[in-house]
A and B are shown apart, each in its own frame.
Chain A
Amino acid sequence: MAIILAAACLNALRPAPARASFGPPQQVITTDPQTCVHTRLTDEVEEWKVQRSLQEARELGAPTIVEFFPWAYIESAEDRYDWAAADRIVRHAENQGIRIIARMGLVPDWARDSDRLETSTLNTLPEESYADFAAFVADFAARYAAVIDQIIIWNEPNLAFEWGFSEVDPAGYARLLEAVYQAAHAANPNVEILAAPLAPTLEPEGSPAGLNDLLYLQALYDAGAAPYFDALAVHTYGFTSPPDDPPAPDKLNFRRAELLREIMIENGDAGKPVYVTETGWNDSPRWAYGVLPSQRASWTVRALQIAAEDWPWAETLCLWVLRYPAPSYSYPDDFALLTTGFQRKPVFDAVRAYTQGEAVPEERWLPPPAAPSS
């Protein structure tokens, strides 16, 4: 009895969990409404970090975020939904005055082939489960109607690993779009279905790793997908090239998005908008495709200017990525605008100054020493 009492007393002394109470509704102030940032809030455990991340997005001047809402998390058992984490994100985003573009994907165990469960991945969606996925998207669209009206269907299906390590299949993805489109529009007539962003890649036909994004997009049109998406999501990364570098089919750079746009126009889809849902540079000192922090900062701002001036068809330019809930301790961490500990990186300060119409901030680091390393 004494032990139980002592345990109860100790438990009462435990600090209360950090709370994230809502403040007054906020508005995003920005000179560039295309500015957007991809967040990673779904995997965040602590609510105050969700709130802090969205506050940082607002301070960045981004009126829009892209967030991932995995099917496997929300409907882990058939017809049993847990919306708590999604609701939490939506409430905090609304409080900060931020619009959400939702990305859908990740297949729960029950919707995968039970005979292949041990070797299939969360990106393995059997065709017989397309209707289940469509039903989930419709439920999501209905629940968040008027709050989330843009939904991305899948991610980078032109990469084998994003297609469950099966051969990439534009016609199969077209059938997935067809399955989703009617159901989602019936649930929310204002919803925009975004065809999946394709990974920028030069993989040729027959490669086991994937397929060139330009070839894949054309194949998608050839498969008759056009009536089943309202807009195209695009991933375009700068890698080691500056943002003004002209596009070419055999080159991966920021303006490769213009080539995807040309394919849309050639296929009679000029009236549909584009949402660039991932872009940016990486300032890892070691990654083969990393650049200096100063280059990353100035190139990112210039990319936003290019989109604002020359890409009227682009609704958003979303930077990958605001912050990771946990670090990988490898080069992907250097895509973040904030460290996991909420330390602002130089690119964050530069984008914030741009969206607030301020002068580009002075470099906040010391000049290199007189005899620097080569």
Chain B
Amino acid sequence: MAATTRRSVFLIGLAALAVWSLALAVGVWRWNSVLRVGPPGRSIFPYGELRVAIDPSNPPFAFPESESFAGIEPELAQAIGARLGVPVRLIPHGFDGLYDAIRADQADMAMAALVINPARSSDVRYSPAYFNAGLVLVVNGETPPASLSEAFSGRVALAYGSDEQTEAESWLRRVEPFEIAPYETREHALDVVRLGDADAALVDAITAGRYRAAYPGWESSLLQVSVVPYAAALRPDRPALAAAVERTLAGMLADGTLQTIISRYLR
């Protein structure tokens, strides 16, 4: 009798242990399968913050404002930090020292109008592009020309001695002749289009965006001519951080946050 009781107790205990183990396994699996916001791991942010090198001499991407910094890149950095649940420290740097700041671990990331440069791919890992600073043709009206061949026609205004002039001269060899109208500044080139004295202005996307923001009532449209991708640069030996920034930027692109930030400065 005593032996039978002991055996029953043993079997019940064994069954309970099996159920408990199963519940534990399911619980762990469920816990790990849920993406939850929590304190960032030390492996991603070894300093407990996201240190972002910026160049505050380059508006609208970054500039000083009331003892701090404003602009597209400081806003973007703060938004990334908020989504990752980590405080952001903005570190001002001159343009020349940005890549060295990453290498010397003075910053986790540089956001300073840096163009993806394949020659630096062994030194840094770039995020997806957050802005295209390439050349654009700006024309009157809300409907852009259907093609670049169509857009490079009539009278094209641009800044004298600029990359735009080189680009326009190269198009002269590809399409029907058009007139190049050189001005001292890109803003003057945009003025003549807005005032109806030229058919298009060939400028960089930043100049176009600032100018159009300054004239919100001007009905104009853009046609992209070249691609110059601005991206964040990160240390290549912190892939977890790079992946987190990439995921966050992708999310901000998908839900419109990125465009909302940019459109506060550029149209």
Contacts and interface: CB of A to CB of B under 8 A. Distances in A.
A136 B191 CA distance: 55
A341 interface: yes
Contact of B166 (A162, A293, A331, A343): A343
Place the interface of chain B in its size category. Answer: 35 or more
B106 to A, nearest CB: 6
Contacts, number: 125
Interface in B168-210: 181-188, 190-192, 195, 197, 206-207, 210
A2 interface: no
Contacts of A224: none
A345 B186 contact: no
B162 A346 contact: no
A364 B105 contact: no
B97 A161 contact: yes
Interface string A272-308: 0000000000000111110011100000000000000
A165 B107 CA distance: 12
Instruction: Name the residue in B161, B190, B192 with the highest tally of chain A Cβ atoms < 10 Å from its Cβ.
Output: B161
Interface string B93-113: 111110011011110000011
Contact of B191 (A327, A364, A371): A371
Interface stretch (B27-35, B57-65, B145-153): B57-65
B255 interface: no
Interface residues of A, number: 45
A182 interface: no
A121 B185 contact: no
Chief secondary structure at chain B's binding surface = mixed
B260 to A, nearest CB: 22
Contacts of A18: none
A288 B58 contact: yes
A301 to B, nearest CB: 16
A369 interface: yes
A17 interface: no
B104 A368 contact: no
A373 B58 contact: no
B187 A285 contact: yes
Given A292-B184, A346-B161, A373-B214, A286 B100 contact: no
Contacts of B113: 329-330
Interface in B84-134: 93-97, 100-101, 103-106, 112-115, 117, 119, 133
Given A329-B115, A330-B58, A331-B95, A119 B185 contact: no
Contact of B165 (A121, A331, A343, A371): A343
Contacts of B182: 364-366
A283 to B, nearest CB: 9
B169 to A, nearest CB: 8
Contact of A365 (B97, B183, B214): B183
Contacts of A333: 163
B131 to A, nearest CB: 11
Interface in A162-209: 162, 164-165
B129 to A, nearest CB: 12
A11 interface: no
A49 interface: no
B184 A161 contact: no
B195 A288 contact: no
Contacts of A369: 188, 191-192, 195, 197
Interface in A321-371: 326-333, 339-341, 343-346, 348, 363-366, 368-371
B104 A120 contact: yes
B58 A343 contact: no
A123 interface: yes
A216 to B, nearest CB: 17
Interface string B133-167: 10000000000000000000000000111110110
A366 B58 contact: no
A287 B188 CA distance: 18
A292 B133 CA distance: 21
Instruction: Name the residue in B97, B186, B195 with the highest tally of chain A Cβ atoms < 10 Å from its Cβ.
Output: B97
Contact of B106 (A165, A332, A346, A363): A165
Given A293-B160, A366-B182, A372 B191 contact: yes
B237 interface: yes
B228 interface: yes
A118 interface: yes
A125 interface: no
B163 A364 contact: no
B105 A119 contact: yes
A303 to B, nearest CB: 19
B187 A373 contact: yes
B95 A328 contact: yes
Nearest to A343: B166
B211 interface: yes
A120 B101 CA distance: 10
Contacts of A165: 100-101, 104, 106
B184 A363 contact: yes
Given A285-B185, A365-B182, A328 B166 contact: no
B184 A286 contact: no
Nearest to A374: B214
Contacts of B210: 286
5 smallest CB-CB distances across A and B, nearest first, come from: A161-B97, A345-B161, A341-B166, A165-B104, A365-B160
10 contacts: A119-B104, A288-B59, A293-B159, A293-B184, A329-B133, A343-B162, A344-B161, A348-B161, A365-B182, A371-B191
Given A164-B104, A330-B113, 20 more contacts: A119-B103, A120-B104, A122-B100, A159-B97, A161-B93, A285-B185, A285-B186, A285-B187, A285-B207, A288-B58, A293-B185, A329-B228, A332-B95, A333-B163, A343-B163, A364-B161, A365-B159, A365-B184, A366-B181, A372-B188
